[in-house]
Structure 1
């Protein structure tokens, strides 16, 4: 059976340099691709992840210099959670204090210790301490190997109702409901360890979300390839009367998009071809990579993009 779970999460940020510094220097993620928003090439598109940019580790950003802040509300991703070794939460708490990073206090969710925090744009993030994660390769993060991030743990969605979205997760995207805790409903994608969990928090009566800085733009789920993706699209149409966009080539994966019943933008992205398709694995993220249809405009695009140190 094809691997299921999260492929990537894409969010909106403010100044590009600030975004780059936080995710590489503070969190120790690797910049695995520096390109542009294919639909708005005057804006960078940064991809941060593990050493190889494996599905389930990638948090991406559209950084707009003067973006207005978003407002969390119904129909939005509430929080993106990373996996760290179980004993690393204290180390990260001290790091956030030393670096002035906005954070909460550690709390228990489904028996796991979770440390909420925010990035400079207010994006809601958290670290979940997971037993056994210390045995997974940490890669060259610049941080001690015994505390480094090992990909996604989960995302949580803030929705008025869990059931309609849960039906898409279970029938189309390979998840099953595994637990409930208060207003949270937890779904897991088989035995997928990295990015295998999605939580829905039911919260009727809240204001709708307003997209902006610190908002998640969309959540992408894995498809092994084109045939797998097409089968998922058929199930969406046949069983749920949901239409998707045409397939769009994003160079590093091929995608379709749709709005799930709660209003969150979902993407189904193929695992192939991956981020090493246009530059060697050892130098991922070092050069500005453009799709073929924009390459002829490189000089103009480079003049518009903010300079990076």
Structure 2
């Protein structure tokens, strides 16, 4: 019962239109599903990924208009990373960010990989990381109709960084319950702070890592626009998800129970420092209700919300995501 890696990460935005522009036109990701938050269908839930929306490539956003700015702090998912094929690709992205006035820093070595730190239009923190030396979970397939040359394009999610005040309880959960393995440490770039611990699961590699940072100089995070809501880990199928439910019960963690998200099946719980974890199945996938060539072009609703389509569409600000296929 090992996880197959990172399934998806979900973050917060206050502006779906600007979010769509940045992640498709600047980063070159494909919008693979335009839908709504199933727990609050008055707001958008946007899913980005590779050509087919494969697990391990999915970056999603809940839109909450007028949401306050995220405040950095502990008990948070403090950084996400996106994989690119080679070290050379980072040079391409550094030039592109310079031309498009995207805030970024110089290329550096992070956990023995070349990486490029950058921030989106709402201040969300990312690292582009090179997969040139990567061994482990394979990346996805870049969007063929995207604006980025294939040899430089983003191929999936990389390590997720958690920032906590008391790491020991999180480490016990990762290693004793969730089956992660300690891999190595690497130094923090912040003077006087402890090393950052690397844990991996499944086949390992950049698509299957958690980076755990201890910080005692920060307040609790205040989740807002530019912040990350949760991280999800890949489970093979429903049978294995039920096995995980039993295991989480045995470990005495409160959880959501089985939830059908239509595109995948899920379980949610909070780790000891309060960060929200999700376990999500690889299938059925995002081509369940739309043809692959037209993913994300119109508003998709799961069957239980379809009878309320007119009511839902009236509350949503129109978002044009149609693609010219000529």
TM-score interval for Structure 1 and Structure 2 normalised by the shorter chain = over 0.9
Q: Is the 8 A contact 1:185 1:201 kept in 2?
A: yes
The counterpart of 2:225, out of the listed 210, 213, 222, is: 213
Over the aligned positions, Cα root-mean-square deviation in angstroms equals 1.8
Which residue does the alignment assign to 1:44? 44
For the residue of structure 2 that corresponds to 1:272, the secondary structure is strand
Contact in 1 for aligned 2:2/2:178 (Cα 8 Å)? no
Structure 2 Cα separation of the partners of residues 132 and 90 of structure 1: 16
Q: Give the Cα separation in 2 of the matches to 1:231 and 1:192.
A: 22
Q: Is residue 2:181 matched to residue 1:180?
A: no
Deviation, 1:92, is 0.4
Secondary structure of 2:221's aligned partner: coil
Residue number in structure 1 paired with 2:216? 204
Separation (CA, whole Å) in 1 of partners of 2:238 and 2:307: 28
Question: d(CA) in 2 for partners of 1:17 and 1:192?
Answer: 35
Q: Deviations over 1:201-220 (max 9, x none)?
A: 11124200101101101111
Q: Please report how far the alpha carbon of residue 243 of structure 1 lies from its aligned counterpart in structure 2 after TM superposition.
A: 2.0
Contact kept, 8 Å, 1:104 with 1:117, in 2: the verdict is yes
Name the residue aligned to 2:147.
142
**Distance (whole Å) between structure 2 residues aligned to residue 63 and residue 126 of structure 1:** 22
Query: In the alignment, what sits opposite 2:308?
Result: 297
User: What is aligned with 2:242?
Assistant: 230
Q: Offset of 1:229 from its aligned partner?
A: 1.4
Q: 2:274 aligns with which of 263, 271, 283?
A: 263
Aligned residue number for residue 26 of structure 2: 26
Between 133-142 and 80-89, report the one with greater CA deviation.
133-142
Kept in 2, the 8 Å contact 1:218–1:265? The answer is yes
| 2:267/2:280 contact within 8 Å kept | yes
Map Cα deviations across residues 179-235 of structure 1 (whole Å, 9 max, x no partner): 012320001113244621110011124200101101101111111112211222222
Describe the shift of the 1:225–1:171 C-alpha distance in structure 2 as closer, same or farther (beyond 3 A): farther
Aligned residue pair count: 308
Unaligned runs of 5+ in 2: 188-194, 321-326
Structure 2 residue aligned with 1:5: 5
Contact 1:44/1:62, CA 8 A, preserved across alignment = yes
1:301–1:167 CA distance, 2 compared to 1 (3 A):
same
Q: CA deviation at 1:267?
A: 0.6
Q: What are the residue-to-residue correspondences of 1:103-122 with 2, within 5 Å?
A: 103-122=104-123
The answer to whether the 8 A contact 2:140-2:156 is kept is no
Q: 1:136 to 1:234 in 2, by over 3 A?
A: closer
Q: Is the aligned partner of 1:163 residue 2:168?
A: yes
Look up the SS of the partner of 1:297 in the other structure: helix
CA distance in 2, matches of 1:288, 1:127: 30
Between 124-133 and 28-37, the greater mean CA deviation after superposition: 124-133
SS in 1 for 2:232: strand
Q: Which residues of 2 match residues 62-101 of structure 1 at below 5 A?
A: 62-84=62-84, 85-101=86-102
Please list every run of 5 or more consecutive structure 1 residues that lacks an aligned counterpart in the other structure: none
Aligned mates of 1:154, 1:28 — CA distance in 2: 20
SS of 2:158 mapped into structure 1: strand
Structure 2 CA distance for aligned equivalents of residues 305 and 204 of structure 1:
41
**1:288 and 1:301 mapped to 2: Cα distance?**
10
